[in-house]
């Protein structure tokens, strides 16, 4: 299906950060002259109509004041095993029958770090309890039995991914209390589960040679080297973010080999280490976290898009460079600066048309950008329901965009009000993603306005100029 042409208009017509500027002034002051008037603009009246009530494409699938869990009859949480003010989800995967949610142990009091909700609950229960996956016996060290380091189970999971062979890959960081003491408990690992039986079928424990003492593995992207008809999905390559010690772990499943890569583009930018969301600010110097793979035209041509949390920039790198196991750790990666956003963000997603989706946190928006054409759009703005999009996922079955929205700033600052809605699972249908001519667009810095190839350099200002 062909995506309609998207207009390019000024973001400050919608966002309060540009008070006092009209559209012409914005063009002169903010948009570099070589970028001006490259595509049609929307009249101000049209934008005002777009921002009216009743036009939001957001479908709230589930909403929670606080996360609750389905515990066995007669069981109860041990003292300190459950603190609702410390349970915030960061990871999402959507399958044909379940919605999987990862709740990392950022603080003590998280009983289950990976759970699911049946899709059958959609439209029936607005806040269904979470069912631990694959069961309570996997939820160490803070499950029903309280604190016990059982490294055969899960320690703390940030994100999960399903492959096309009906397996769920769970990335376990191996540490707890990452925002309250940073406590390593077990070696980081990945475990694959057959979703037809919920039984583990593969375990990968990462060697210390690709880790650092403070490594924090938070996200994974799955690349397919084999043909789509490969019944076993054994020719997989995983790209895994190390957010605390900026870099990536690349793991080849067929060869059972791992390597570590790093680049200055994966580091946090100190100028963007403070975030302001809905009037509340916090600081967090997190490195690379968001990732999205370009469509699989051919494995050698794929790009991995990525961004640190503490930056306003999006980068890309050819996956062929990441998969070069003959290169050493000092390899100079051919990283490209794709462009700048209006503010920071965590999640990235890309659909099969090559459209990149992201959520700038300060603007509480969902946006899209086409690297191929330079076209961009703000799909929607919602100051209440889009305060921090921790995860964005495209459902390959229907092209819809799913996201996790949380009031993460309040969890971080311990100002959460459990009488309000704080966590949402949201879906945007494909037709509303594609029919975005009426949405406001154009960021303060144009994505795609600058295309440079960066390599490792001792001059940090090479990146942050």
Residue 121's contacts (CB-CB under 8 Å, 6 or more residues apart) are 62, 128
The answer to whether the beta carbons of residues 307 and 292 sit under 8 Å apart is no
Helix (H/G/I), strand (E/B), else coil: 67? coil
Cβ atoms < 10 Å from Cβ of 74: 5
What are the start-end ranges of the H helices in 231-336? 319-322
Among 76, 217, 77, residue whose Cα is nearest residue 147: 77
Tokens of 44: 């101000």
Q: Residue 298's pLDDT is what?
A: 58
Q: Residue 312's pLDDT is what?
A: 96
Domain boundaries, the chain: 56-325+332-436
Residue found by looking up tokens 């379940």 in the block: 98
Residue 332's contacts (CB-CB under 8 Å, 6 or more residues apart) are 455, 456
Cα four-point dihedral sign 99, 132, 308, 296: negative
Among 7, 68, 12, 1, residue whose Cα is nearest residue 381: 12
DSSP line for 278-304: TTEEEE----EEEEEEPP-S-GGG-EE
User: Which residues does the chain have with pLDDT short of 70?
Assistant: 1-55, 141-149, 226-229, 298-300, 436-465
**CATH fold for domain 56-325+332-436:** Neuraminidase (2.120.10)
| Alpha-carbon gap, residue 97 to 222, rounded angstroms | 21
| Alpha-carbon gap, residue 277 to 257, rounded angstroms | 41
| Alpha-carbon gap, residue 183 to 241, rounded angstroms | 19
């Amino acid at each position: 299906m062909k995506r309609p042409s998207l207009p390019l208009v000024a973001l400050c017509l919608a966002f309060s950060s540009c008070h006092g500027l009209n559209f012409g002034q914005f063009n002169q002051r903010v948009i570099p002259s070589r970028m001006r008037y490259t595509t049609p603009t929307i009249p101000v009246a049209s934008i005002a109509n777009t921002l009216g009530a009743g036009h939001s494409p957001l479908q709230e699938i589930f909403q929670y004041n606080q996360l609750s869990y389905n515990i066995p009859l007669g069981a109860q949480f041990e003292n300190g095993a459950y603190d609702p003010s410390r349970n915030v989800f960061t990871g999402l995967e959507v399958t044909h029958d379940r919605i999987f949610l990862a709740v990392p142990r950022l603080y003590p009091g998280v009983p289950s770090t990976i759970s699911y909700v049946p899709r059958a609950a959609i439209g029936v229960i607005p806040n269904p309890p979470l069912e631990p996956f694959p069961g309570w016996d996997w939820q160490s060290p803070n499950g029903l039995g309280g604190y016990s380091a059982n490294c055969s189970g899960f320690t703390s999971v940030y994100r999960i991914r399903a492959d096309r062979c009906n397996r769920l890959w769970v990335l376990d960081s191996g540490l707890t209390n990452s925002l309250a003491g940073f406590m390593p408990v077990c070696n980081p690992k990945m475990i694959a589960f057959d979703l037809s039986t919920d039984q583990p079928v593969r375990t990968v424990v990462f060697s210390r040679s690709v880790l650092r003492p403070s490594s924090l593995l938070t996200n994974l992207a799955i690349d397919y080297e084999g043909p789509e008809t490969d019944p076993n999905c054994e020719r997989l390559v995983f790209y895994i973010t190390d957010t605390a010690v900026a870099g990536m772990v690349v793991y080849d499943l067929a060869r059972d080999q791992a390597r570590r890569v790093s680049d200055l583009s994966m580091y946090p930018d100190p100028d963007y280490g403070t975030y302001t969301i809905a009037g509340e600010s916090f600081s967090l110097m997190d490195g690379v976290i968001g990732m999205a793979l370009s469509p699989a035209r051919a494995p050698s041509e794929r790009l991995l898009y990525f961004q640190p949390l503490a930056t306003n920039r999006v980068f890309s790198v050819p996956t062929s460079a990441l998969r070069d196991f003959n290169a050493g750790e000092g390899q100079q990666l051919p990283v490209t600066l794709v462009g700048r956003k209006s503010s920071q963000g965590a999640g990235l997603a890309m659909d099969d048309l090559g459209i990149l989706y992201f959520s700038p946190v300060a603007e509480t928006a969902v946006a899209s950008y086409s690297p191929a054409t330079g076209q961009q759009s703000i799909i929607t703005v919602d100051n209440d329901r889009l305060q921090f999009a921790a995860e964005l996922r495209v459902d390959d079955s229907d092209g819809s965009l799913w996201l996790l929205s949380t009031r993460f700033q309040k969890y971080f600052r311990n100002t959460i009000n459990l009488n309000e809605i704080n966590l949402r699972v949201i879906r945007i249908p494909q037709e509303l993603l594609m029919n975005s001519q009426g949405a406001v667009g154009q960021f303060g810095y144009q994505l795609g306005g600058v295309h440079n190839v960066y390599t490792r350099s001792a001059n940090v200002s090479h990146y942050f100029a």
